[in-house]
Amino acid sequence: MAFGKTAEFVEKYFRKGMRIGGTGRIQTRSYENRNGEKVYVTEIVLEQAEFVESKSDSAPAKKTAKAPQNDSLDGFMDIPDEIGDEELPFS
């Protein structure tokens, strides 16, 4: 689970199947379902999320040739020119 700005960030930049790094807390709760049975739930509440793989790593494999990978040793990926500063999740 994520709430507020963290939820907005996850919704905008992450897709199903992508690896995500995060910090948060584990919480447990219980409730009674419609059948009167007690149900126990353990949830992870995400407080901060970050990318742990590049976009090309998370994309499904295609039969077409891949673009050359960034061979930079600093571990950071290049931001595409078509992404404006206002679209970045940080300033």
CA 12/CA 15 separation, integer angstroms: 8
* DSSP code per residue over 15-67: -TT--EEEEEEEEEEEEE-TTS-EEEEEEEEEEEEEE-S-HHHHSPP-SSPPP
Which residue segments constitute the domains of the chain, with CATH numbers given? 1-53 (2.40.50.140)
Q: Which pLDDT does position 65 carry in this prediction?
A: 44
More confident residue, 60 or 14: 14
pLDDT score for 91: 47
The neighbour count for residue 53, using CB atoms within 10 Å, is: 12
Cα separation, 12 vs 80, whole angstroms = 16
User: What are the pLDDT digits (tens) for 22-81?
Assistant: 888 899 999 999 999 999 999 988 888 888 876 666 565 544 444 555 555 566 667 666
Which H or E run contains 45?
Answer: strand 38-51
